[in-house]
Structure 1
Amino acid sequence: MATVTLKGNPINTIGTLPETGSKSPGFSLTKGDLSNVHLDDYKGSKVVFNIFPSVDTGTCAQSVRQFNKEAAQLENTKVLCVSKDLPFAQARFCGAEGIENVEMLSDFRDGNFGKAFGLEFVDGPLKSLHSRAVVVLDEEGKVIYTEQVAETVDEPNYKAALEVLMDA
C-alpha cells in the first residue's frame, strides 16, 4: 500500500507500483472504439503510462496536454493516458483539445489495470479511481521508470520520465 495526499490529506492505494527492472503486469484496457488492448499489443515499442484519476480535472488534463506535446518528439514510443473515465469522455476531451499524439485508454470495465499496477485508491474521496503516476516500459515490457506522485494535485516529473527513454 502506498500513501499519497489529496490537498494534504492522506489517502491510500491498493498496493505499490511495479519495481524497476520487473516485467510489467498484464492488463486489458478499453480504447475509444470500445475495443480492448493488452500489454502484448505494445511489444516492440517503448511505453509511457500517464496515469491519473480523471481527465475532467485541471492537473489530469494538463498532464495529457504535456505528454501529447512531448510524444510528438519521441521515436518508437507510445504514450498511453490511463484513467477510469469513460472512453466517451476521453474522446470528447481529446477532440476539444486537439490531442492526437497520445492514446487514451480506460480502465472502467473491471479496474484490472489499477489493481495490477497498485494504483487504485482504497479510501478517501477518490476511492476506486487511480492515483497519479507515471510508469515507463522498454520495448520488451520491462519497467524502467516509475513515479508515484506524492500529492495528487501535483503534476508528474515529465522531464525525468522522458529522460529515461533516451537511455533505454
Structure 2
Amino acid sequence: MKELQFFTEKVLSSPGERLFSEAFKEYQSYIESNKSKLPDTVVNIVKSDWYFNARDPRCPKDGWLIKQRIENEFSTTERQKKPAEYEITLLGAYHDCHLHFVYKSVVEIDAPGNAGSLLEKDYDPWRIDEFSRRDDGYLVHKIYFLSGKVWTIKCQSFEFGVTNL
C-alpha cells in the first residue's frame, strides 16, 4: 500500500522556500480533506498555529530525543503478542518543555540509527514530521531528522502532550 510523503529529501534540501511551501500547502490540504479519517489529536496539532511554528516552544522542530519507551504485551491465554505502545519524548528546542508522542496499538516501527539523540556526537534534531492514514486504516507518522534519517511509525491511534519544565 502506497504511503504518502510530502516532505521528501528533495523538498527539504532544496534552496529557498518554494518547494517546501508547496509541500506544506499540499500537506495541509491533505489533512483538511481527510480529517474525518484522522484522529482528532492529529488534526488539532497539524492545523494549529503553533505545531509548525519554530518560534513556539511546543513545536517539535529542533527538539532532541531524550526518551523512548516501548511496551509489548503478550496474551498468555491466546499465546499471541498484542500490539505495542510506543512513546517518544523530546526536549523542546527552547529546553523549557517535554513533548510526548504516544502511539497506541503499534504494528510497525522503523527507526534506524541514533536520530534525535541528545548526545553531542549524535546530535540530530527533529526537522519536520507528517501524518497520513493508509488505505488499510493505519495511521502513519513519518519523522524527518536533520541527518536525513526518517523514522516511520504505524499505529491505530495517537496522543500528544506537552509538559512544561
Relative to the length of structure 2, the TM-score reads: 0.29
Q: Which has the higher contact order (CA 8 A, sep 6+)?
A: 1
Could you say which structure has the larger radius of gyration?
A: 2
Relative to the length of structure 1, the TM-score reads: 0.29
